[in-house]
Amino acid sequence: MKLDIVPLSTIDFKDNTFLIRPGVGMPLLLNSVKDVGIINQPILRKKNDLYQIISGHKRLEACRELGIAEILSKIYKSNEITDVECLKIVFYENHGSFGDIERGELLLKFKILCNLKENELNQRVLPFLGIPPSRRNFEKYMRLGELEREIKDAFYSQKITVEQAVILSESSSSSRIEILNRVLLKLKMNTNETRGVVKEINEIAVRDKKGVKEVIDDILLRIDKGDLKADSFRRELKLMRYPVLTTAEEEFNLCLKALNLPKDVATHHPLFFEGNHIEIRMRITSAKRLSEILSYLSSVLHNGLMNRLLA
């Protein structure tokens, strides 16, 4: 390896062999290069008549955009460094900022570029990446590495969370982009809500022998365009997945609301509304308060709502 000044015209910018996380942070990097120049030299490998970028893609892109003609770089001869060593450099140069998605991408590159088998990847590469070796971890990070670029870009641009990316990775490749574009990028949902929505969409598709696109189309047709929010989407999805249960639950909640029970009284129904009973629990602080609650419950027995709760 040697240090030398390299014309940018001799660098192959189309070669993304060792590129992880493309395009992230470019505006900030442009300002940094413009103000103070390149502090950490890019690492290149001679490949035919051009140079292949091992590390420093975004720094070099910034230089090219700023019209810089040449740059001091660390250069390896073509036979001086292997693909395995190149990938290790990529990790060493970036591991402080690498999360699960980046580690998944790097694991996939070790598999493809270095032709490593599952056992080698599990026992040698996962520990190198700071991941405990196991079949479960291997499968998780391989799924993340194989995610479509559109999903990775949505994560890198902070439009979805890493947890949502993991949930998408567990779905079939034919459904992921549809769910990303028409659900996750349009509706604000936390991790648990996302997991439930993705699971139910896929279950409906299997049950009804439909594609995920058809399922989402059906849900959106039921929702007023001006009311496209996470809650309305999840409600219609639940109605499609569990129509009888959802109707029963909504009727139960409407009755509860109409009863206007005191805050220190709680009701609980059997799972899936099996049976014809409910539980009423009270938090009692005095005999007087118990008398007030019992008096109130006695008064509402006559308006028929209690009977509807038990129906």
Tens digits of residue pLDDT in 255-269:
778 778 888 888 776
Instruction: Give the residue-averaged pLDDT of 147-164.
Output: 95
Nearest to 59 by CA among 96, 6, 113: 6
The Cβ of residue 284 has, within 10 Å, a number of other Cβ atoms equal to: 11
Which residues, other chains included, contact 176 with Cβ-Cβ below 8 Å and sequence gap of 6+? 147, 148, 151, 168, 169
259: left (phi over 0), alpha (psi -120 to 50) or beta: alpha
134 is written with which tokens?
A: 């196991």
pLDDT on residue 24? 61
Between 23 and 204, the more confident residue is 204
Q: 266-276: buried (b, 16+ CB within 10 Å) or exposed (e) per residue?
A: eeebeeeeeee
Pick the CATH number of 1-81 from 3.40.190.10, 3.40.50.1000, 3.40.50.2000, 3.90.1530.10: 3.90.1530.10
**Model confidence band, residue 243 (pLDDT cutoffs 50, 70, 90):** confident
Q: Where, residue-wise, is CATH 3.90.1530.10 in the chain?
A: 1-81
pTM of the model: 0.77
* Residue 301 binned pLDDT confidence (cut-offs 50, 70, 90): confident
